[in-house]
C-alpha cells in the first residue's frame, strides 16, 4: 500500500476530520461549524448570566461579540474573568474534545514537520487569523526544532493586544522545571484536560531529565493530538527508557502521523522491550486504519451497518487491533453483529497484558524517585553538542540537554527523516 498516495487522496477528497483517538473523544462526534459552536457557547453564557449575574454593571459586556477578543477594560473583575473563559472556549474550537483538523491545515503542517521556518510561517498565519492557541502550538513546534527562533516568537507575542487570558500569555509555563517530581507529573497529566492550550509547555519541557515526566508528557501530547507534537514524539522513539519510549510510540499513533510508519514497524519487530513492540504494532494499525477512512468517521459512526462493515474490512485488511478498537469505541460492541466477532479478534488485538505492571505509571515511580534523588551526571554544553548526532542513549541524552538549555543549532533535530513507506 502506498500510504502517501492514500493520505494525499483522502486530504483532497474531504474537508477534514477529527482525531478520534484523543482523550475522551467518542468515535464520530459530529463536527460543528464554528458558527454553530459559537452559538452554543453564546447560549450557555447567556444562561449563566441570567441565573447568576443579575448585577452585571455593564450589560453591553454581556454579549459574545465582546468576548471573542481580548478584554482589557477596567470593568467588573468577575465579568473580565468570565470574558476570558469565553475567549478560551472560542479559541479551543476544534481542539477541545473534538480535535478536528482541516485538510488544508493537515497539508500545511505535514509540509512543516521538520522545518522551523514553516512552523513559524504557520504560526504567523494563525496569529493573523486570530487563532492564538493554534498559533502558540505552531510556534512551539518551531521552537522545539530550533530554539534560536524564540526571540522571533517573543516579538510576535509581545505585539498581541492587551487583555488576553493569562493561560494564553503564560505559555510555555516557565516554572515547570522548578516543581518537584510529583508536581511536574501532576501538571503534565492535567495538561491533557485543556485541549491544545498547553502544547507549548509540554513541548518546552519534554526534555525533562526524569524518564517518568517525559513519559507523561509524551502521553499527554498524544491525548490532545496535533501535528505540532510529531517531531518531539519521533525523538521520543529514541528515549532510552522503555516506558517513556512506549508512550511516545503510542502517541504517534494517536496523532495519526503517516510519515513515520517505517520507524514504528522497525520498533514493532526489533525493540528489546515487549511493550514497545506491542505499542508500535498497534500504532501502525491505528495510523493506517485512520487514514483509510479519513473524512468519513462521523458518517461511519452514525451508521451501525457501516461501522460493522468497516470493522470487518479492517480485520480482513490485516488491521485486527484497529478493528477491535473501532468496535469498542463505536458503542455497539455488545450488539449481536459485533460481539462474537470482537471476541474472536481479541487474541490479535494487541491489548496490554493486565498482569504485567510495566505499562502502569506507578510501577515506575520508585525508579523515577531514585532518578530524582540521584540524577545522572550532566553533560557540558560542549559535550552535548559533540554527541548530539550519535545514535542510541548517548545521542538522545545529548539532544535532550541541548533542548533543555535551549541551545539552538539545528543539529539536535536531524535524528530521523520523513519516510512515508
- pLDDT above 80: residue 365: yes
Q: Is the N-terminal amide bond of 172 cis, ω within 30° of 0? A: yes
Gap between the Cα atoms of 388 and 414, Å rounded:
9
In what helix (H) or strand (E) does residue 202 lie, and over which residues does it extend? helix 199-204
Candidates 82, 103, 83; CA nearest to 94 is 103
Q: Give residue 355's Cα distance to chain centre.
A: 29
pTM above 0.85, yes or no: yes
- pLDDT above 60: residue 131: yes
Task: Evaluate whether 374 touches 392 at the Cβ level (below 8 Å).
Answer: no
- pLDDT above 70: residue 185: yes
What DSSP designation does 379 have? Answer: P
Better-scored residue on pLDDT, 159 or 26: 159
CA distances from 124 to 119, 162, 187, 190, 197 (A): 9, 18, 28, 28, 17
Residue-wise pLDDT tens digits, 302-322: 899 999 999 999 999 999 999
Q: Which stretches of 2-131 are DSSP H helices?
A: 3-13, 34-52, 77-91, 103-112, 116-129
Sequence-ordered list of residues with C-beta below 8 angstroms from that of 177, at least 6 positions apart, any chain: 184, 205, 208
Average pLDDT, the chain: 87
Gap between the Cα atoms of 325 and 284, Å rounded:
13
DSSP 73-90: SSS-HHHHHHHHHHHHHH
> 1: burial class by Cβ within 10 Å (0-12, 13-18, 19+)?
exposed
Residue-wise pLDDT tens digits, 34-87: 888 888 888 887 777 777 666 655 444 444 444 455 555 555 666 677 778 888
Which of 186-190, 194-198, 203-207 shows the lowest mean pLDDT across its residues?
194-198
Task: Evaluate whether 116 touches 145 at the Cβ level (below 8 Å).
Answer: yes
Q: What's residue 58's pLDDT?
A: 46
**What phi, psi does 91 have (nearest 5°)?**
-65, -30
Candidates 103, 142, 102; CA nearest to 122 is 142
Q: How confident is the model at residue 259 (pLDDT cuts 50, 70, 90)?
A: very high
Gap between the Cα atoms of 48 and 71, Å rounded:
19
- Per residue in 203-217, is it b (16+ CB within 10 Å) or e — as a string? bbbbbbbbbbbbbbb
Residue-wise pLDDT tens digits, 315-351: 999 999 999 999 988 888 777 778 889 889 999 989 9
Amino acid at each position: 500500500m502506498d500510504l502517501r498516495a492514500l493520505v494525499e487522496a483522502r486530504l483532497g477528497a474531504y474537508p477534514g476530520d477529527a482525531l478520534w483517538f484523543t482523550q475522551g473523544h467518542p468515535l464520530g462526534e459530529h463536527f460543528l461549524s464554528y458558527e454553530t459552536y459559537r452559538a452554543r457557547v453564546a447560549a450557555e453564557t447567556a444562561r449563566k448570566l441570567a441565573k447568576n449575574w443579575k448585577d452585571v454593571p455593564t450589560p453591553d459586556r454581556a454579549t459574545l461579540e465582546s468576548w471573542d477578543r481580548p478584554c482589557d477594560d477596567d470593568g467588573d473583575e468577575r465579568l473580565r474573568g468570565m470574558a476570558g473563559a469565553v475567549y478560551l472556549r472560542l479559541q479551543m474550537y476544534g481542539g477541545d474534545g473534538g480535535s478536528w483538523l482541516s485538510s488544508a491545515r493537515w497539508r500545511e503542517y505535514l509540509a512543516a514537520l521538520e522545518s522551523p521556518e514553516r512552523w513559524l510561517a504557520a504560526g504567523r498565519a494563525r496569529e493573523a487569523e486570530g487563532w492564538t492557541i493554534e498559533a502558540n502550538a505552531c510556534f512551539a513546534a518551531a521552537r522545539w526544532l530550533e530554539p534560536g527562533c524564540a526571540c522571533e516568537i517573543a516579538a510576535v507575542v509581545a505585539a498581541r493586544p492587551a487583555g488576553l487570558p493569562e493561560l494564553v500569555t503564560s505559555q510555555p509555563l516557565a516554572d515547570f522545571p522548578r516543581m518537584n517530581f510529583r508536581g511536574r507529573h501532576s501538571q503534565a497529566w492535567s495538561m491533557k484536560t485543556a485541549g491544545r492550550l498547553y502544547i507549548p509547555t509540554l513541548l518546552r519541557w519534554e526534555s525533562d531529565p526524569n524518564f517518568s515526566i517525559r513519559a507523561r508528557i509524551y502521553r499527554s501530547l498524544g491525548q490532545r493530538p496535533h501535528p505540532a507534537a510529531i517531531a518531539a514524539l519521533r525523538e521520543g522513539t529514541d528515549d532510552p527508557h522503555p516506558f517513556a519510549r512506549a508512550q511516545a510510540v503510542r502517541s504517534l499513533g494517536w496523532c495519526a502521523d503517516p510519515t513515520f510508519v517505517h520507524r514504528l514497524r522497525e520498533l514493532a519487530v526489533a525493540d528489546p522491550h515487549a511493550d514497545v513492540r506491542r505499542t508500535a504494532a498497534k500504532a501502525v494499525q491505528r495510523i493506517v486504519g485512520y487514514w483509510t477512512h479519513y473524512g468519513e468517521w462521523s458518517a461511519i459512526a452514525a451508521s451501525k451497518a457501516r461501522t460493522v462493515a468497516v470493522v470487518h474490512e479492517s480485520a480482513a485488511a490485516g488491521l485486527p487491533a484497529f478493528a477491535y478498537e473501532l468496535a469498542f469505541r463505536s458503542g455497539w460492541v455488545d450488539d449481536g453483529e459485533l460481539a462474537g466477532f470482537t471476541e474472536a479478534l481479541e487474541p490479535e488485538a494487541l491489548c496490554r497484558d493486565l498482569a504485567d505492571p510495566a505499562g502502569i505509571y506507578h510501577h515506575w515511580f520508585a525508579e523515577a524517585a531514585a532518578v530524582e534523588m540521584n540524577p545522572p551526571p550532566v553533560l557540558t554544553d560542549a559535550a552535548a553538542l559533540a554527541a548530539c548526532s550519535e545514535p542510541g542513549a548517548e545521542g538522545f541524552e545529548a539532544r535532550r540537554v541541548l533542548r533543555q538549555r535551549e541551545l539552538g543549532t539545528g543539529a539536535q533535530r536531524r535524528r530521523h527523516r520523513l519516510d512515508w513507506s
